[in-house]
Structure formats: C-alpha cells, structure tokens
C-alpha cells in the first residue's frame, strides 16, 4: 500500500517537483535496506525451524523403532503360543487315537466272544 502511494505521489501529484523521480531510487534504497535487515532474521528463523524439525524427526524415528521392536516381540510371543498350542493339540490327538484304538480292540473282542458263543 505504501509503495502505491509513494509512486502515485511522485508520479501524479507532484508533477512539477518530485522528491523521488521515476526510477524511484530513494524507494529502491529504502526497500533494499529493509530487505537487508529482514534477510538475517528470516534465515535465523529458518535455521530454528530446521533444528525443531530435525529433533521432531529424530523423536519420530525413535518412536517408530520402539514400536517395531514391540511388534516383533509380540510376534515372537504369538509364535511361541501357537507352537505350544500345536504341541498340546498333537498330544490330545494322540490320546484320542489311543482311545479309538482301545474302543476298536474292545469291539473286536466283543465280536470275537459273540462268534465263539454261537
């Protein structure tokens, strides 16, 4: 807004006696000084933000690494539980097979006794 007012005042209003004629050298000098003052401040804030971002990314990495380790541990626990359950199921199946074998032997024995009595 100030730039527009500066240009209008120097171009239109003060047609005969302008204090900063067309190339607006004084305006350019003022803008250059402002830019020279702002540049280091902007650079410092960018460096500060970069440092914050670096710390945040390091924390994210640590959290992700910890989560990965926890997930790996949980997988190992589940694998162990599944192996234990599988072993127990095999034992139960063996008991069931033994019981079936005993039932079959008892049936054969009963059948053999019935045939002998005939």
User: What is the reported pLDDT for 118?
Assistant: 65
How would residue 13 be classed by pLDDT, with cut points 50, 70 and 90? low
Residue 40 has pLDDT above 80, yes or no: yes
Residue 118 to residue 114: CA distance in whole angstroms: 7
- pLDDT, one tens digit per residue, over 84-99 is 999 999 999 999 999 9
At CA 53, angle to CA 47 and CA 58, rounded to 5?
A: 130
Residue 11 to residue 29: CA distance in whole angstroms: 18
pTM above 0.75, yes or no: no
Q: DSSP per residue over 70-85, as a string?
A: HHHHHHHHHHHHHHHH
Of residues 38, 26, 42, the one with CA closest to residue 2: 26
Average of pLDDT values for 18-31? 81
């Amino acid at each position: 807004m100030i730039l527009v007012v500066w240009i209008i005042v120097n171009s239109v209003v003060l047609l005969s006696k302008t204090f900063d004629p067309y190339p607006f050298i004084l305006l350019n000098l003022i803008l250059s000084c402002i830019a020279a003052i702002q540049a280091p401040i902007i650079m410092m804030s960018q460096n500060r933000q970069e440092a914050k971002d670096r710390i945040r990314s390091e924390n994210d990495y640590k959290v992700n690494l910890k989560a990965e380790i926890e997930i790996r541990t949980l997988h190992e626990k589940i694998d162990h539980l599944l192996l234990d359950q599988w072993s127990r199921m095999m034992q139960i199946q063996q008991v069931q097979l033994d019981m079936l074998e005993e039932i079959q032997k008892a049936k054969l024995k009963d059948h053999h006794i019935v045939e002998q009595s005939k």
